[in-house]
Amino acid sequence: MSNVVLELKDVDVFYGDFQALFKVSFKVEEGMTFAFIGANGGGKSTLLRTIAGLQRPSSGHVLFHGEPVDQFPAHKRVGMGIALVPEGRRVFPSLTVRENLVIGAYGGRKGDWNIESVTELFPLLKPLMKRQASSLSGGEQQALAIGRALMSNPELLLLDEVSLGLAPVVIKRIYEAMVLLVGSGHTILVVEQDVQHVLTVADYVACFLEGKVALEGKPADLTSEAITAAYFGM
C-alpha cells in the first residue's frame, strides 16, 4: 500500500452556529497534488486552515502519517512539516522581505529551501529584500507569502488561492515548481479558482459545495459538465 501522508476522518467545523464543514473525509498519498475547487464560501479555506491547525474541528480527526494531530497547535505542525499559504497575501507588513522569509523558517525543518532558492523561484523578490513588506505590490506580497511557507521546508504544502494577483508568467513558474516539488516527494494541497489550469497538475480533485465534497476523482475521470454541475449543486 502506498504511503498515506494526510487523512481526514469525518471532520466537522463550526464558526459559532454556522457549520462550515460537514463530515469531511479523504486520504492524501505522498507525492500527490490534491486540488480543491468549488464556489467561494464552500469551505475550501476552512479545510486548509483546519489541516494547518488554525481551526479546530468540533468532531472528527486530522491524521498526519497515521497519527492524530488534533491536539497540536499550528506552530507545532509547522515543525512536523505542514505549511500553509493562507488566503489573501498574509505577510508581516512592518517587517522587511528578508525578515519575513527568515521568520518563515522558524520552527521549520531542514531542507533545500532557503533565501537563495526562494529568490530563484521568484526572481522578482530579489531586489526587494530590504523593503518593508507593506510597500510591496499585490503580486509581490503573494510571492512573498508563498516563499515564506517554503522556507519551513514543508513536507505537506497547503496553498490557498495560489495564483491570486500574480502575472501569468509567475503563475507558470509556480506550477512548474509544484511539479518539481511533488517529484521530490512533497505533497501539495491546492485551492485554485483557475480550474482548467489546476487540472493540468492535479492527481486528484475534490469539488466543495456548502461544506461538503460534491464531486471527487481523477481529473481524467471528471467531465467539465460534471464539474460545472458540482459547482452549482445540480
Ligand X SMILES: Nc1ncnc2c1ncn2[C@@H]1O[C@H](COP(=O)(O)OP(=O)(O)OP(=O)(O)O)[C@@H](O)[C@H]1O
Rule CB under 5 A: which residues touch Mg ion? 137-138
In the complex, what is the shortest distance from the CB of residue 147 to ligand X, in angstroms, rounded to a whole number? Answer: 14
| Distant-in-sequence, close-in-space partners of 192: CB < 8 Å, separation ≥ 6 | 35, 36, 37, 159, 161, 162, 163, 198
Q: How far apart are CA 145 and CA 132, in angstroms?
A: 14
> Please, which residue, 53 or 139, has the CB nearer to ligand X?
139
Residue list 153-182, contact with ligand X (CB under 6 A)? 165
Bridge partners for 4 per DSSP:
29
Q: At what angle do helices 97-105 and 138-150 cross, to 10 degrees?
A: 30
Strands 187-191 and 204-209: unpaired
User: What SS3 state is found at 212?
Assistant: strand
Query: Residues touching other proteins: how many (CB under 8 A)?
Result: 30
Told to check if 192 binds ligand X by CB under 6 A, we report no
Told to check if 134 binds other proteins by CB under 8 A, we report no
Q: Which three cell numbers stand for residue 128?
A: 526587494
Query: From the list 146, 157, 164, 201, which residue makes contact with other proteins (rule: CB under 8 A)?
Result: 164
> Please, which residue, 32 or 128, has the CB nearer to other proteins?
128
> Please, which residue, 77 or 173, has the CB nearer to other proteins?
173
Burial 67-94 (b: 16+ CB within 10 A, else e): eebeebeeeebbebbbbbbbbebebbee
Residue list 124-143, contact with ligand X (CB under 6 A)? 135-140
Residue list 39-78, contact with other proteins (CB under 8 A)? 39-41
Told to check if 114 binds other proteins by CB under 8 A, we report no
> Please, which residue, 68 or 138, has the CB nearer to Mg ion?
138
Told to check if 228 binds ligand X by CB under 6 A, we report no
SS3 content of the chain, % helix, strand, coil (to 5): 35, 30, 35
Answer yes or no: are the C-beta atoms of 23 and 12 closer than 8 Å.
Answer: yes
Q: At what angle do helices 168-183 and 138-150 cross, to 10 degrees?
A: 10
Told to check if 58 binds ligand X by CB under 6 A, we report no
> Please, which residue, 137 or 224, has the CB nearer to Mg ion?
137
Among 145-153, 161-169, 177-185, 209-217, the segment contacting other proteins (CB under 8 A): 161-169
In the complex, what is the shortest distance from the CB of residue 136 to Mg ion, in angstroms, rounded to a whole number? Answer: 10
User: What SS3 state is found at 210?
Assistant: coil
> Please, which residue, 51 or 136, has the CB nearer to ligand X?
136
Told to check if 136 binds other proteins by CB under 8 A, we report yes
Query: What does the binding site for other proteins look like in residue numbers (CB under 8 A)?
Result: 38-41, 89, 124, 128, 135-140, 142-143, 161, 164-170, 172-173, 193-195, 231-232
